[in-house]
Amino acid sequence: MSQLPQPLNVSIEDHHVFIMECLRHVGASEQHALIVADALALTDSWGTFTHGSKLLSGYTSRVKHGGCQTDVDPEIVRDGPSWAIVNGNSTLGQVAATFAMQTAIGKAREAGMAYVGVHNSCHFGAAGVYSAMAADENMIGISTANDIPSVAAPGSRKAVLGTNPFSYAIPARRHPPILLDIAMSTVAGGKVYAAHQLGKEIPDNWIIDASGRPTTDGSLYPKNAALAPMSGHKGYGLALLMESLAGVLSGANLTWNVKAWISDSPDEPTHHGAGFLAFNVGVMQNMDEFLNRVDGLIDEIHNAPKIEGVDRLYVPGEMEWERREIAKENGVTLPPDVVMVLRQMTREIGLETDIV
């Protein structure tokens, strides 16, 4: 375990500039670097540090070595009134996902709702970024992706499916959008890495060792351990739906045919898949009434009786949007593991910066 640096406070604007600089330094196009910087700076401002700029190290490596392309754009290869299949053309996952959700929103504007599946993509970071795009347009957004297997099935002693993130966003009026972003495992792999990098023991329901037994040793993951599915057969079953919507239906690679974006050769595409849904609320219901009903639902949950010692009940995303408001004023405080990874990365790519 290397010595961890201090947390680092940085303004969202400077952080965005830094992310752009890193990607531009390894040769990314301005347009693609901007899309990735928007996504990662937003994610860090939510306090979701496992899926923010910490990922840059893998992304810069893939851009530098050609596994991710930034001189081509994703494209629609087939479509109909309420769907499209997009070839990500080995662009960065954020670029392919942003294009796909924009396509879903456009289709939903005409048809009412739409699905867009993406193949030949890469790791897309936090799924919530794309769902939030739909909520910004007063639509319900859903995002999912597949990934190399890291999650066991009940009874298996090896991983069979990816963490296969799932996210949704629902627009509200007085409140920020409801926004959930979860892995189908008990926790995302990033949390196991982060705990390990911070020298912490992990709870015994996060991973299983090579024999299938629960363990608190995070260092075993991912080589000699698999993540436990959330709630057993339920999380496993949901991960299989995500594999199907993000992978099978989109025409992407599946399970072990997806490459590990962190550890596999950075000069080859990873062939991740992703899936996006947009629901155009305003054509189905009166938009004002819908927003009032969502606000009312949130108020009702806020006002529900609390367990002694609990001050507040939160709806999904509420903590993240509050952290973002604070970050807009006071900057983002990057935790030690993120600062460490970012400093290693800038050294590796030979970038001189005074931001981290």
Residues 7-66 interacting with a second copy (rule: CB under 8 A)? none
Residue (255 or 333) nearer to a second copy, CB:
255
| Range 272-331, binding a second copy (CB under 8 A) | 279, 281, 283-285, 290, 293-294, 296-297, 300-301, 304-308, 310, 312-316
Which one among 17, 34, 76, 249 touches a second copy, defined by CB under 8 A? 249
Backbone angles phi, psi at 295, to 5 degrees: -55, -45
> Token match 């709806």: residue?
315
DSSP character at residue 243:
I
Taking CA 99 as the corner, what is the angle to CA 97 and CA 105, rounded to the nearest 5 degrees? Answer: 100
Using CB under 8 A as the binding rule, whether residue 180 contacts a second copy is answered as yes
> Token match 């754009």: residue?
73
Short-list 27, 124, 16, CA closest to 356: 16
C-alpha to C-alpha distance for 97 and 198, rounded to whole angstroms = 31
Residue (17 or 241) nearer to a second copy, CB:
241
Which one among 34, 76, 106, 156 touches a second copy, defined by CB under 8 A? 156
Question: CA-CA distances (angstroms) from residue 45 to 225, 254, 291, 321, 332?
Answer: 31, 32, 25, 8, 6
Pairing label, strands 83-87, 113-121: parallel
206: helix, strand or coil: coil
Residues linked to residue 182 through DSSP beta bridges, in sequence order: 166
Total residue count of the chain as it appears in this document: 356
Using CB under 8 A as the binding rule, whether residue 248 contacts a second copy is answered as yes
169: helix, strand or coil: strand
Residue (18 or 49) nearer to a second copy, CB:
49
Tokens linked to 309: 């010692």
Residue (63 or 192) nearer to a second copy, CB:
192
247: helix, strand or coil: helix
Which one among 234, 265, 267, 325 touches a second copy, defined by CB under 8 A? 234
Which one among 65, 200, 233, 328 touches a second copy, defined by CB under 8 A? 233
Residue (178 or 195) nearer to a second copy, CB:
178
Residue (26 or 194) nearer to a second copy, CB:
194
| Range 94-153, binding a second copy (CB under 8 A) | 110-115, 117, 140, 153
Residue (156 or 216) nearer to a second copy, CB:
156
Using CB under 8 A as the binding rule, whether residue 244 contacts a second copy is answered as yes
Which one among 170, 207, 274, 339 touches a second copy, defined by CB under 8 A? 170
Using CB under 8 A as the binding rule, whether residue 4 contacts a second copy is answered as no
C-alpha to C-alpha distance for 253 and 158, rounded to whole angstroms = 19
